[in-house]
Amino acid sequence: MMPFGVQSYQWPSKNWPTAHPQNMGVESREFEQFLNYAFPENLDWSSREGVRTQSLLVIKDGVLIYEKYRTGFGPEKRHHTWSVSKLLANAFMGIAEKQNILSRQSRVVDFVGPRKNPDFQKMTIRDLLYWSSGFGWNESYEGNPLRSSVLEMLYGQQVKDVGDYVAGTPLSHLPGEKESYSSGDTNLLSLTLRKALKSDERYWSFPWKELFDPLGISSAVIERDESGTFLLSSYAHMTPRDLAKIGLLYLNDGVWNKKKILPAGWVYDSTQLSPAFRGRAKGSHSDKPVRGMHLWTNKENLRMNLRRPFPDVPADMFAALGHWGQSMVMVPSERIIVVRMADDRDDSFDMNRFIKLLLQSFSSAHLGASRK
Amino acid sequence: MKAWVRRLVIVSFVIVCLVVVALLSYGGDLLRMPKIGAGFYAKEFCSCYFVNQQSEEFCRDLVKQYIPLTELTIDLKTKSVMATSLGAQRKAQWVSERFGCVLNRL
């Protein structure tokens, strides 16, 4: 097993190489169960209930072996990826570190300037990447909209300059002390990159020049706030096929067709459990994944009384996850990428079951670590 | 006073007290909701329609929330969307192929 070994692929810079699932070791009866789970029959779309997949893509060994789209979607249709966009913040920070524009140890204040609270000056880019800024941030959505910081940032008055809004939020913890999922941390990373690049023109072309063009991603749209800062928390749109290219980059340790895009070890570091993890919050679900560096992991930690969040999925699985069921799951040990774009309005979707059913549909000869 | 009248007075008094307490603690947040709601409608619809090129019907269904959407106007000429919710009005504007839509401040 080579968790982050670089594979030699036919790189999908233009089109994905495709193969019939059966030629890649997929057993049809089991695969049928996986598909029935993702696209349940007799779904009443108007009820807004149940597993509501819009687009589904499965990549194995760098080959597109399956894709299915609901009516209204297709290979050329962009999706709103919601918080899957946060993976872009991870990628851009990695690229910027590789190019010596900034590093994880850099202090945020050196780019965005001081704020009233002296503890703000201690905050590093690493703290933001691990969602441990310490800001007293309220990340609640339509279920609990009152006093939501994120709704105020994206749809309220603060959309005029999201980075400045976040930086000025009072701290409830010291930076690095406690992790807490925040779209604010992401957009402050976005502003930090903007300032570190020193030129807005350079910042606005950075995603295309450094990531999308090298990977052959042509559908990407990243929306901005009124001031021009990319809303990396929530507003990247692209086709599932293009998104999966970023997944392939991460499965290959940040290398794309011999071109090193992310620093060595960046993907490994990104997929470790946040050092600011302090155990599961009381009453929180134990089946939710845990946080790495702006992505989600399936890591266990016995000392912290943390068991593997998805027990039937390999521990090296990591994912980018977004509102209403958007996801890209990467399993390095099986060299599998699954993109699922959806409109889940309840929490009936079970990620453990979904990935388990997929893994079960591969014959053992084509599956490594998770069967051993 | 009849018993039921007295009961009605007490219940009404309690309700008024609760409303006053709620307004004192959440008043500002409640007042902000229509603006945030209209902002959400304008931005989401703009992205759905102009960026992801879905149909008007699909986008209307997608953005639907429990905050009422009083009016939604699509301007195909300027590629912008105006949304009104409970008296608050917000506008989102498509700007370019790469950067999609931007929501204007209040």
Give residue-wise pLDDT tens across range B70-98: 999 999 999 999 999 999 999 999 999 99
Q: How far is B73 from chain A (nearest CA, A)?
A: 18
- Please tell me which of the candidates A156, A157, A223 has its beta carbon nearest to residue B47: A223
- Please tell me which of the candidates B33, B51, B104 has its beta carbon nearest to residue A78: B51
Q: Which of B42, B22, B24, B29 is nearest to B85 (CA)?
A: B42
Q: Test A221 with B35 for CB contact under 8 angstroms.
A: no
Burial label, A150 (beta-carbon count in 10 A; 0-12, 13-18, 19+): buried
pTM of the model: 0.93
Q: Test B99 with A156 for CB contact under 8 angstroms.
A: no
- Please tell me which of the candidates A146, A156, A226 has its beta carbon nearest to residue B26: A146
Tens digit of pLDDT at every position of chain B (106 positions) = 688 888 889 889 988 888 888 777 777 778 889 999 999 999 999 999 999 999 999 999 999 999 999 999 999 999 999 999 999 999 999 999 999 999 998 7
Q: Test B58 with A72 for CB contact under 8 angstroms.
A: yes
Residues of B with CB below 8 A from A208's CB?
98
Residues of A with CB below 8 A from B29's CB?
146-147
Q: In 10 A of CB B68, how many CB atoms?
A: 11
Tens digit of pLDDT at every position of chain A (372 positions) = 344 545 567 899 999 999 999 999 999 999 999 999 999 998 999 999 999 999 999 999 999 999 999 999 999 999 999 999 999 999 999 999 999 999 999 999 999 999 999 999 999 999 999 999 999 999 998 888 888 999 999 999 999 999 999 999 999 999 999 999 999 999 999 999 999 999 999 999 999 999 999 999 999 999 999 999 999 999 999 999 999 999 999 999 999 999 999 999 999 999 999 999 988 876 666 788 999 999 999 999 988 889 999 999 999 999 999 999 999 999 999 999 999 999 999 999 999 999 999 999 998 777 765 554
Predicted pLDDT at A223: 98
Residues of A with CB below 8 A from B97's CB?
221
Q: Which of A245, A249, A304 is nearest to A273 (CA)?
A: A304
Tell me which chain B residue has its CA closest to the CA of residue A232. B99
Q: Look at chain A and count its residues.
A: 372
Residues of B with CB below 8 A from A155's CB?
35-37, 39-40, 43, 90, 103
Q: Test A237 with B100 for CB contact under 8 angstroms.
A: yes
Under 8 Å between Cβ of B50 and B100: yes
Q: Test B52 with A237 for CB contact under 8 angstroms.
A: yes
Cα Rg of chain B (Å, integer): 20
Query: For chains A and B, what is the number of CB pairs under 8 angstroms?
Result: 85
Q: Which of A89, A92, A90, A127 is nearest to A107 (CA)?
A: A127
- Please tell me which of the candidates A72, A146, A223 has its beta carbon nearest to residue B101: A223
Residues of A with CB below 8 A from B62's CB?
343
Helix (H) or strand (E) holding A238: strand A236-238
Q: Test A156 with B62 for CB contact under 8 angstroms.
A: no
Residue of B98, B101, B106 best to disrupt the A interface, most CBs of A under 10 A: B98
Residue of A155, A201, A213 best to disrupt the B interface, most CBs of B under 10 A: A155
Q: Taking the mean position of all CA atoms in its chain, how far away is CA A175? A: 22
Burial label, A127 (beta-carbon count in 10 A; 0-12, 13-18, 19+): buried
Residues of B with CB below 8 A from A142's CB?
65-66
Q: Test A145 with B36 for CB contact under 8 angstroms.
A: yes
- Please tell me which of the candidates B36, B47, B54 has its beta carbon nearest to residue A156: B36
Predicted pLDDT at A170: 96
* Backbone angles phi and psi of A326, in degrees to 5: -70, 140
Residues of A with CB below 8 A from B100's CB?
221-223, 235, 237
Under 8 Å between Cβ of A299 and A316: no
- The interface pTM score, or ipTM, of the predicted complex is 0.93
Residues of A with CB below 8 A from B43's CB?
154-155
Q: In B47-93, where does DSSP find H-type helix? A: 56-63
Q: Which of A231, A50, A189, A313 is nearest to B101 (CA)?
A: A231
Q: If interface means Cβ-Cβ distance under 8 Å, which residues of chain A face chain B?
A: 72, 77-80, 142, 145-147, 151-152, 154-157, 159-160, 204, 208, 220-226, 235, 237, 343
Under 8 Å between Cβ of B39 and A152: no
